[in-house]
Amino acid sequence: MAAVTDAYEKVKATILSAHKSTTTREKVNFYNSWANNYNQDVAVLDYRAPCLAADSISSHYSGEREEAVVLDVACGTGLVAQQMKKHGFRHFVGIDGSEAMLALARETGFYQDLKQCMLGEGPLPVQLGLFDVVVIVGSLSEGQVPVSVVRELCKSTKPGGYVCMTTRSNLDNLEFKAALELELKQMEDSGLWTSVEVSEVEEWEKAVSEREDGYISGAVYLYKKL
């Protein structure tokens, strides 16, 4: 039990150190340094977002999954593609800001193409209207990928395609979450897409903030492009 507690405290310290990163380069350097331990560390946190997002997409996607092309934004080491493969998806393009994370994603063999891109600093480096599914998991949160990126996600999706997004509902992220939900609604009101499902999940992952104990909650948003 002590070993489990020690591992959790170590992961907490690692993630809290990332919050001290203020510039884009500092954030990228953090993820580059974390890449080799990332999968085992998020497992310590019981991080469920990749599985929850893949389940949401799978429950609504009615097309040919083996033919669908998926854009995995902020793909990291490939945890989302790993979960989506379990549901029959086979074709993935990944984008991430961290070269080290992309190197590990490449080793999985899940992706047909991988691109390095600083999210929020310009258009996504992909063809517009190409993808059957666009997914971003774990990175839409305070101090990471800005809310403005969701319009790029929509542009990358083909009409009738799906966009799946997640965010956390912990205390430090409530302001960001409110801004995100306002943008999602404004885009729906503008006729860009329609909400398919919003899932609030109580046990999202173990808390790392000093302000919270136990598990924090989170949300999965699934939209269909019109």
Condensed to tens digits (0 to 9), the pLDDT of residues 171-216 reads 999 999 999 999 999 999 999 999 999 999 999 999 998 889 999 9
DSSP state letters, 31-64 = HHHHHHHHHHHHHHTT--HHHHHHHHHHHH--S-
Q: Is 95 helix (H, G, I), strand (E, B) or coil?
A: strand
List alpha helices for 116-199, DSSP H: 149-156, 174-189
Residue in 208, 195, 196, 203 with CA at minimum distance from that of residue 219 = 203
Residue in 123, 77, 79, 119 with CA at minimum distance from that of residue 100 = 77
According to the model, what pLDDT value does residue 16 have? 86
List alpha helices for 109-173, DSSP H: 149-156
Domains in the chain and their CATH numbers? 46-225 (3.40.50.150)
Residue in 63, 101, 65 with CA at minimum distance from that of residue 85 = 65
pLDDT tens, per residue, the chain with 226 residues: 566 678 999 999 998 887 777 788 889 999 999 999 999 999 999 999 999 999 999 999 999 999 999 999 999 999 999 999 999 999 999 999 999 999 999 999 999 999 999 999 989 999 999 999 999 999 999 989 999 999 999 999 999 999 999 999 999 999 999 999 999 999 999 999 999 999 999 999 999 988 899 999 999 999 999 9
Residue 222 near residue 196, CB atoms below 8 Å? yes
